[in-house]
Amino acid sequence: MWPFKSKYDKLKREDVVDAICSLEKQEDDLEEAISSRAREIEELLAKGRKETNRELKLFYAKKITSMREENQTDVKRAMYLMYNMKLLRKLKSTIDDNEFFIKTGKVSLGNLLADQKGLAQFLNKALNTKVRSEQVLTDADDTWNEIQSGYEENERIYGVNEQDDELLAMFETGEQLDAEMGELGSQNEEKKAEAQSDENLQ
């Protein structure tokens, strides 16, 4: 037996389950936000295709780009939550195994904690997860500072970037297609009218 008690001795299964449920709720909220933005993006794309005013087209393009970036951020958050839940479910499974073996008398909790190799692997996983999550935050902070520094920052906010050009070009293509379809419809109507007139003369 170890001469000290580990914090895992006091860990309860219901505490882990509550933590998983809390993360699942956050994941559901992120999914709803991503889905809502996706629907709004589709609506803005449709508006952009129909709009004739260039300023409004640019506004739609900027808003779509911004919302896509928000969705990308939320997707990364969801991925982090899913990875977190994956580890917590492993922990819950381990607790369930421990309780099973304790009840059957085959393995004691003391013997489990004496497994230094297994405990070291568990701690390394947790530490690596922490380091990766912290690295994401510091990288994001560096990116933010880089974008916010200097005059180029204004160009990114107010300029027309490659994504905006692509969206504007798509809107223009949609307008041309609508115009062509409208012209074709007018020609068909004229042909019908001429045919009807010919029938009346006969």
pLDDT digits (tens, 9 = 90+) for 43-54: 999 999 998 999
Alpha helices in 9-115 (DSSP H): 13-50, 54-104, 109-113
Question: Does 186 score more than 70 pLDDT?
Answer: no
| Centroid of chain to Cα 142 | 21
pLDDT digits (tens, 9 = 90+) for 74-114: 999 999 999 999 999 999 988 888 777 667 655 455 566 66
Q: What burial class does residue 94 get, using C-beta atoms within 10 Å of its C-beta: 0-12 exposed, 13-18 middle, 19+ buried?
A: middle
Banded model confidence at residue 68, pLDDT cuts 50, 70, 90: very high
Owner of token pair 């050009």: 165
Q: What is the pLDDT of residue 141?
A: 76
pLDDT digits (tens, 9 = 90+) for 18-36: 999 999 999 999 999 999 9
Q: What is the pLDDT of residue 11?
A: 81
Say if residues 17 and 93 touch (Cβ distance below 8 Å).
no
Which range has the worst mean pLDDT, 4-13, 83-92, 145-154?
145-154
Of 56, 73, 76, nearest to 164 by C-alpha is 56
Banded model confidence at residue 151, pLDDT cuts 50, 70, 90: very low
CA distance 107 to 186: 83
**pTM, whole model, 2 decimals?**
0.52
> 150: alpha, beta or left, given left = phi > 0 and alpha = psi -120 to 50?
left
